[in-house]
Amino acid sequence: GAVVSQHPSRVICKSGTSVKIECRSLDFQATTMFWYRQFPKQSLMLMATSNEGSKATYEQGVEKDKFLINHASLTLSTLTVTSAHPEDSSFYICSVRRRDYEQYFGPGTRLTVT
């Protein structure tokens, strides 16, 4: 069965609004979760590493004030895209890392900003 869930799977929002994406670890407690973004026909781009109980670590070039990450519990991390614009339209994927460094991916969230 699924190890990681994401909600919603698809979302369409208007430019200027905010969207929250949830990532849940179903099978084990995860102190670390990752958020990726993938544009069509491009590789996965790591946006940030979400650490339970502390601030997320953002990759260079990712605006932390625009992409708010909250890792409130060992099984839940949320990504909020604030003041979304059409260029934020993308496939957002979270992943959870086990002790053996294997990463399990959520099913992804396709965001379309109109």
84-to-18, 19, 36, 44 alpha-carbon distances in Å: 6, 8, 17, 20
- The DSSP result for 8-64, as a single string, is -SEEEE-TT--EEEEEEESSS--SEEEEEEE-TTS--EEEEEEETTSPPEEPTT--T
Q: Which one of the spans 11-19, 62-70, 79-87, 97-105 is the region binding another protein (CB under 8 A)? A: 97-105
Asked whether position 101 contacts another protein by CB under 8 A, the answer is yes
CB 83 → another protein: shortest distance, Å?
Answer: 26
Asked whether position 102 contacts another protein by CB under 8 A, the answer is yes
Asked whether position 58 contacts another protein by CB under 8 A, the answer is no
CB 29 → another protein: shortest distance, Å?
Answer: 18
Q: Please select the residue that binds another protein; options are 15, 18, 42, 114, rule is CB under 8 A.
A: 42
Asked whether position 100 contacts another protein by CB under 8 A, the answer is yes
